[in-house]
Amino acid sequence: MALAFDEFGRPFIIIKEQEQKTRLRGIEAQKANISAGKAVARILRTSLGPKGMDKMLQSPDGDVTITNDGATILEQMDVDNQIAKLMVELSRSQDYEIGDGTTGVVVMAGALLEQAEWLLERGIHPIRIAEGYEMASRIAVEHLERIAQRFDFGPTNIEPLVQTCMTTLSSKIVNRCKCALAEISVKAVLSVADLERKDVNLDLIKVEGKVGGKLEDTELIYGITVDKDMSHPQMPKKIEDAKIAILTCPFEPPKPKTKHKVEIDTVEKFQTLRQQEQKYFDDMVQKCKDVGATLVICQWGFDDEANHLLMHRNLPAVRWVGGVELELIAIATGGRIVPRFQELTPEKLGRAGLVREKSFGTTKDKMLYIEHCANSRAVTIFIRGGNKMMIEETKRSIHDALCVARNLIRNNSIVYGGGSAEISCSVAVETAADKYPGVEQYAIRAFADALDAIPMALAENSGLQPIETLSAVKSQQIKENNPHFGIDCNDVGTNDMCEQNVFETLIGKQQQILLATQVVKMILKIDDVISPSYY
């Protein structure tokens, strides 16, 4: 502990317990940081591509997650090292912005760090490496713009969107029915998309899952599903041309806010109180009937007396519906959420062509489907699967597919997948390196080598000879000057990704390169790590 004295002679501590802290400086710090980043990238490397492996993660409370989504793996991993946490953040930002390519971005950053370590050992200053990487990333992003292709799609021609979503789903566990799931995802996005503004609000797409059935039973519902059933078993199970009253007020007499005490000493008084309460219920039900409602959806519960009355008055009702679901129902049916009975008017009712209750299997599970809505801007993807883990993984896969479809609506440029874009960028960056006279050209060449890490990992995970396959594809690209050649992971027999219909979004690829370069620059600029001692 260092003591010092101010001008009045008062002692003060400069840095507390400094001798107990561990400290890494200079090249040692950079090497430690690089090895931490590489360790995280190595974990994800094996789960890249259509033949990538899945990871099984167990949380402290015993929940098991099986996934091959990079962002989910890193979120669930308990990472302690600060540099490793940066890699987790990197994957998360790719997930938030693009939704796809979360594994590739970490593998890319790991490869850049590996190349940087090699350059540091040769005595090149980390700032010069960082600058070289920055130049190279600019060259790569511009080259991607040049090799990208645009395609037009419309509400009738959705094939290009489906093909791109299929590429995303092919690396997931659900790849055996990727065609059906891709089609469902694209239709869902197009039904909520605003094509004039080129914007998609993914909150309007609800992804629900229920254990049972098989993956092929997954369906797209142009409406909303609610995990509730009618409040009385004798209420009708199917209502056509429903007019829906959406209430957030309870179906019971109001309770005074203050403390109160009711003294009842005779039977007559009790009868009067009961009749008063019954009249209150009667008025409520009558109010709903008067405005023309044929179905009541309530956020709160109601007691058996109200339930009995509703049944007798032929007014089906659903109780305990969550707030988020109420909002979606209101959007889909064009209704208004009513907080007080006095405000209930015919204009505030929502309209749906069909409301039906559906039972599943031999269990007592029932769900309510609200379909053919007045405003079909809210849709539901309803997933079936053999077990809970399968449904969770399918939800994550569909989220990726939805994000890809949204990105294509925002920007309809695509590049070809299978590592072909990275190989093409690597060749372009290597060629451009000769134009830079300084030390940066070493870093630019290293960047070109790092770009090869993704096709290399793809080949490795597919059981091919990595170096042999990569060099064959690279020479083919240079010879024929065609950026569509990539790694043939699925053993189709052709390297041309155009024929295999393997597409990726341009903005996703550009974001991967830019984000990976930014994080690597940040890690290279750290030359002093002061960490607290662990007792």
Find the radius of gyration of the CA atoms of the chain.
30
- CB-based burial label for 180 (10 Å; 0-12, 13-18, 19+): middle
Told to judge if 400 belongs to the known catalytic residues of this protein, a careful annotator would answer yes
Catalytic one of 103, 164, 168, 505: 103
| 102 is an active site residue | yes
Which residues make Cβ contacts (< 8 Å) with residue 287, sequence separation at least 6?
A: 341, 344
The reply to whether 283 belongs to the active site is no
Q: What's the rounded Cα separation, in Å, for the pair 129 and 336? A: 59
Four-CA torsion 65, 68, 74, 75, nearest 10 degrees = -50
The conformational region for residue 101 under phi > 0 = left, psi -120 to 50 = alpha, else beta, is left
Tokens 């290597």 sit on residue: 430
Residue reference for tokens 């092929």: 216
User: If phi over 0 gives left and psi between -120 and 50 gives alpha, with beta otherwise, what is residue 372?
Assistant: left
Contact in structure between 310 and 232 (CB atoms under 8 Å): yes
Which residue among the candidates 400, 452, 488, 496 is catalytic per the annotation?
400
| Active-site annotation holder among 46, 65, 69, 452 | 69
Burial 350-381 (b: 16+ CB within 10 A, else e): bbbbebebeeeeeeeeebbbbbbbeeebbbbb
CB 124 within 8 A of CB 443: yes
Nearest CA to 224 out of 131, 128, 307, 324 is that of: 324
Is residue 380 annotated as a catalytic residue, yes or no? no
| Long-range contacts, stretch 494-497, CB < 8 angstroms, 24+ apart | 495/418, 497/416, 497/417, 497/418, 497/420
Cα–Cα distance list, 56 to 66, 271, 401 (Å): 4, 64, 22
- H or E element that contains 107: helix 102-121
Strands, E assignment, 417-531: 503-505, 528-531
Q: Which of 46, 67, 102, 168 is catalytic?
A: 102
CA distance 113 to 144: 22
Query: Which residues are catalytically annotated?
Result: 69, 102-103, 400
